[in-house]
Each structure stands twice: as C-alpha cells, then as structure tokens.
C-alpha cells in the first residue's frame, strides 16, 4: 500500500491529499529516509511523521484493506512517539501565552508610557534599596 494511503487509512490525516502533500513537503520518512507519496509500506517498517510540530513515530503492524475506524487503528500501527515530543508541545503553548494576543498589534503610545513608567519606578526602587 502507498504511504499516503496508509497514513490516511490509519487516520493520521483527514484526507488523502493532505497525506500526499505532507510526503511531498518532506514531513514523512520511512526508516529515516524522506519518501514520495507512492512509496510502498511494508510490515515492520518505522515511519516518522511531522504533524503539528510533533514528530510522531509509528511502527507498521499490518496493512489495512481500507480506512479503519478510530477504535481499530491500534491493530495496524504501534505508536512509539517519545513523551518528550508532547512535553515540548505543552511548553510551546505556555510560551505563546506570554506574548500579545493575535491581532493586537504593536504597543500603543499609552502602552509604551506605562512600560516606561514601570521601568522608572522599578529603577527608582532599586536606588532606594541601595
């Protein structure tokens, strides 16, 4: 079975064209080698898929005849993705909260003045402490 079709049948991608596009962009590797969408998949191969900034590691257990239900996916693949990949995703979420909200744009003049006032008061507090 083709790699793009396999990834679609085990529900790693919503559509087969998304799986094909991921292969073309180099996000899919079999045994650490970039593959084209038409590359055949065999039992026992290790597949690496980069999706949503996570490198999923999959081992092929069996080849399904057609797209399978979500409950049956584990019959056809073994997920060996390290836990660190998901932890890195959590850290990325927290780091995004620090920045300004999307669409807010550059700081306004009032924001800049508030920041400067804050820095001046903290600087003056540091001088008073010495």
Statement: residue 107 has pLDDT above 90: no
Q: Which domains does the chain show, CATH number per domain?
A: 3-82 (3.10.290.10)
pLDDT value at position 86?
Answer: 79
Nearest to 96 by CA among 57, 53, 50, 49: 53
Nearest partner of 2 among 17, 118, 14, 110, judged by Cα: 17
Q: What percent of the chain has pLDDT over 90?
A: 52
Q: What is the pLDDT of residues 40-49, one digit of tens each?
A: 999 999 999 9
Give the model's pLDDT for residue 99: 60
Residue 95 — very low, low, confident or very high, per pLDDT cuts 50/70/90?
Answer: low
Residue 124: predicted pLDDT: 57
Question: In the structure, what pLDDT confidence band is assigned to residue 87 with cuts at 50, 70 and 90?
Answer: confident
Query: What's the CA gap between 27 and 16, in Å, rounded?
Result: 14
Of the ranges 53-62, 78-87, 93-102, which one carries the lowest mean pLDDT score?
Answer: 93-102
Query: 40: which DSSP letter?
Result: B
Per cent of the chain over pLDDT 70 is 84
Q: How many Cα atoms within 13 Å fall on the side-chain side of residue 128?
A: 6
**What pairs with residue 28 in β-bridges?**
49
What's the mean per-residue pLDDT of the chain? Answer: 84
What pLDDT, in 10s, does the model give residues 6-34? 999 999 999 999 999 999 999 999 998 99
């Amino acid at each position: 079975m083709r790699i793009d079709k396999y990834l679609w049948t085990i529900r790693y991608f919503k559509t087969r064209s998304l799986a094909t596009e991921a292969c073309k962009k180099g996000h899919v590797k079999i045994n650490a080698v970039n593959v084209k969408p038409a590359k055949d998949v065999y039992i026992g191969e290790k597949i690496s898929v980069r999706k949503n900034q996570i490198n999923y590691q999959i081992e092929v257990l069996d080849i399904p005849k057609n797209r399978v239900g979500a409950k049956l996916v584990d019959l056809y693949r073994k997920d060996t993705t390290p836990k660190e990949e998901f932890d890195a995703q959590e850290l990325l979420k927290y780091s995004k909260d620090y920045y300004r909200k999307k669409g807010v744009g550059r700081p306004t003049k009032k924001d800049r003045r508030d920041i400067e006032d804050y820095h001046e008061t903290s600087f003056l507090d540091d001088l008073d402490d010495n």
